[in-house]
Chains A and B, each alone.
Chain A
Amino acid sequence: MTDAHISLEGDMTHAGMSPVVSEAKEIAPGRYQGTLDLNMRGDWTVLFHIALPGGRTLDRQMILRNIQAT
């Protein structure tokens, strides 16, 4: 998957908490890298909003459990 536009969104498991958003950049063909500031301890759900070159869109999600402060 190349030339895609990927927005990252991190949500806490509790409603009402502010999501954190970021963009992933293509650092090599098909490889994307982005940073999210997960600013609270606990479980986070990261959403990937993906826009493909042909106009198709995809949404994927990943759960990150037990995030601790660094």
Chain B
Amino acid sequence: MGIHSSNPSLRSADAAPFDLLRVPIIGGFLRWRHSRTVLQIPVFIVAVAMILHGLVGPTLAPKNLATVLSWVHFRGALVLVLLCAGNFFCLACPFMLVRNVARRVFRPRFNWPRALRNKWISVALFVAILFSYELFDLWSSPWWTASLAVGYFVAVLVVDGFFKHASFCKFVCPIGQFNFIASTLSPLEVAVRKPAVCDRCATKDCIRGRRDILGEQRSPAAGSPVTRAMPGLVILQRGCELALFQPRKVGNMDCTFCLDCVHACPHDNVGVISRLPAAELMVDPIRSGIGYFSHRKDIAALAIVFSFGALLNAFGMVSPVYALEAWLGKLLSVNHEAPVLGIIFATFLLAEPAILLGAAAWLTRALGGSKRTLVPLAVRYSYALVPLGFGMWLAHYGFHFFTGMLTIVPVTQAALASAGVHLLGAPQWTWTGLPIHVVRPMELGFISLGFAGSLLVVHHLAEEDCPTQPMRAFIPWAAVCVVIGLASVWLMFQPMEMRATLMGG
């Protein structure tokens, strides 16, 4: 398998990259215009079943499709597919299926406000979901889990009902942001096959799409008199709704793998191509639809929440968190969960990153002589923590997935039985998954992989930042990686404790 990257400095000239769209059957299917819809329909049906079962089915989480599928299977499969392939869950997103149907009736009229064209809202929603997960014990509540899914459908319809393009995906969706930042570590990327072909392309359909003008298929030049005069032209094929212009696109950030660009390209010059995972975190070219990573404090904040949130989310499932919250509750003389959780979240997501990244940035300037000031340094190196964070997400979600992967069988049997359909006898509730002692080494492997990835990115950034003395810039950030890595391993070996109320009743 060859390695490909949109960034010319990382592209191998002599190796032919692997292209998923060239693989027999799979490639043919993905190149088919309706492949996304075909993938979305079964996911939508499962989502509806989850919601119905969550709202009216058993209240016990291990017996309900909503909680089992959301917190065991969906999360685990999501991170494993991101690790092994790419952002294919956004490709099969059921919310976009509903949105596309709704847009046949309601045409959005507005552009997303310029002031909100960043990740701050979605980062806040990402934190809000992590917070709600702990506060409302989502893992133990089918009703809350189903309500969250319903809320998601409503939010998609409202946002994309008013605003054009994929505003929800790019600026609002917290799951999408998780997928975007994690997919910087995926081995596949939607990218141009031959840049020279794009240089000669006059229509740029990959971003503009194709519309039917007076019964004739054309690629309208943006803002041309024809499109201005006829705003209701029928879209034959969308271009990229997330404003990623393929020839200038770098990496997977903001790419939903919707493959609109693949279908739109008249030269069949867009593929799903192999590349070096995490390589896009090492470079800082201008990226179409994004700009420079080093200038995007909002995306850096996403990287920080992604990385430190991985530890926080796992911390919520082990015994020490209950001792900490009991101590905090006593200290503050409060019985309510929200303020205690708020302090824990502020510590993990604000204070800890500020101290660790601030100290490392200061040392990078003091020891390595970096010319950047503290905040730009912290922004630039924060992307290096993404592999470590992803390692922890993989360890955590992989644990639940592998130890509980078979639970879907009895839960589905019971759900069907409640609807009068009896399959394969009585549900075997002891069907779970792999034993914990088998999964533990996998967890260690994921964390180690993430640690190694972060060190590689840090080393590359240090060489770029302080070419004469890279080790002086490397050591402070490597120390941050060691702290996070050790914390991850420590968390993994803590006794699990699952209470439906954080404050113990």
What CA separation (Å) do A19 and B430 show in the bound complex?
Answer: 6
Q: Are A15 and B67 in contact (CB under 8 A)?
A: yes
A26 within 8 A of B: no
Given A14-B139, A43-B500, A69-B495, do A61 and B60 touch, yes or no (CB 8 Å)? yes
Interface residues of B in 310-326 (CB under 8 A from A): 317, 319
- Give chain B residues whose Cβ lies under 8 Å from the Cβ of A43: 140, 498-501
- Give chain A residues whose Cβ lies under 8 Å from the Cβ of B319: 41
What CA separation (Å) do A45 and B67 show in the bound complex?
Answer: 15
What CA separation (Å) do A18 and B403 show in the bound complex?
Answer: 8
CB distance from B390 to the nearest CB of A (A): 21
Q: Are B61 and A14 in contact (CB under 8 A)?
A: yes
- Give chain A residues whose Cβ lies under 8 Å from the Cβ of B40: none
B191 within 8 A of A: no
For B67, B319, B407, B497, the residue with the greatest tally of chain A CB atoms inside 10 Å of its CB is: B497
Q: Are B140 and A13 in contact (CB under 8 A)?
A: yes
Q: Are A14 and B429 in contact (CB under 8 A)?
A: no
Q: Are A13 and B403 in contact (CB under 8 A)?
A: no
A23 within 8 A of B: no
Q: Are B62 and A16 in contact (CB under 8 A)?
A: yes
B28 within 8 A of A: no
A65 within 8 A of B: yes
Interface residues of B in 363-403 (CB under 8 A from A): 400-401, 403
Known: A18-B403, A40-B496. 15 other contacts (CB 8 A): A9-B429, A11-B60, A11-B63, A14-B140, A14-B498, A15-B61, A15-B72, A16-B62, A16-B407, A16-B432, A17-B62, A17-B404, A42-B497, A43-B499, A66-B499
Interface set of A (CB-CB < 8 Å, partner B): 9, 11-19, 21, 40-43, 45, 47, 61, 65-66, 69
Interface set of B (CB-CB < 8 Å, partner A): 60-64, 67-68, 71-72, 137, 139-140, 317, 319, 400-401, 403-404, 407, 429-430, 432-433, 495-501, 504-505
User: What are 28 pairs between A and B in contact, CB < 8 Å?
Assistant: A9-B429, A11-B60, A11-B62, A13-B61, A13-B137, A13-B139, A14-B140, A14-B317, A14-B400, A15-B61, A15-B62, A15-B407, A16-B72, A16-B400, A16-B432, A17-B62, A18-B432, A19-B62, A19-B430, A21-B430, A40-B496, A41-B495, A41-B498, A42-B497, A42-B498, A65-B499, A65-B501, A66-B504
